[in-house]
Amino acid sequence: MQRTVFAQQLLSAKNLNWVSLIADIMLVGMVVGPVTAPFLAASGVSLLGGIANIIYFMGNYVCPQPTMGLDLASPYIMAVCMRCYGTVIGLLITRLLYAVTGDKGFYWLSQYGWSGAALASVLMMAYPLELAAQILGLWSFNNYLVTPFGLITGLAWGLFTMPILHGWQTAKTR
């Protein structure tokens, strides 16, 4: 019995979808990091403050307006603005949807090839178009305004990439 269990464990480790696992770990970091950074920084513990500094450093390089983050633990703010965090939430929603439905569903854009890529690209332009409109002075930054634009971008990105990131190995074994 022990030999069978051990062989099954080896087989399952061999069939592990490493791309999916790494993508999930990165997504967890993107969901948790920006929100926890202000609390880590406010804790006063040097090790936690160092972790917060790493998160803020990354936020400064991925977010065009990191100084617009929400004030969660005054005087510390989220590591990214709500437009960026909206994008992350869109990715999280599509990841959860993929976990429930797999690649079954008309909404997974990668199944449509170049047409799906084109549609995803058009929808992903919500984020940069809103940012451009803000820079051009059509409106000022408002968390209630920028979050849905980020969310649309994240949903589009996720609806195209989740089957690619998480389903490539299952397609190979069918």
pLDDT reported for residue 14: 60
Q: CA-to-CA distance for 17 and 166, rounded, in angstroms?
A: 7
pLDDT reported for residue 13: 55
Find out whether 96 and 158 touch, Cβ atoms under 8 Å: no
Q: What are phi and psi of 81, to 5 degrees?
A: -75, 170
Find out whether 142 and 171 touch, Cβ atoms under 8 Å: no
pLDDT reported for residue 9: 46
Q: CA-to-CA distance for 100 and 26, rounded, in angstroms?
A: 20
Q: CA-to-CA distance for 133 and 139, rounded, in angstroms?
A: 7
Look up the pTM and report it.
0.86
Closest CA to 72 of 42, 28, 32, 31: 42
In DSSP notation, 7-21 reads: HHHHHHHHT--HHHH
Closest CA to 127 of 91, 73, 79: 91
Query: In a structure prediction context, what are the per-residue pLDDT tens digits for the chain, which is 174 residues long?
Result: 445 545 454 445 566 688 889 999 999 999 999 999 999 999 999 999 999 999 999 999 999 999 999 999 999 999 999 999 999 999 999 999 999 998 899 999 999 999 999 999 999 999 999 999 999 999 999 999 999 999 999 999 999 999 999 885 454 444
pLDDT reported for residue 6: 52
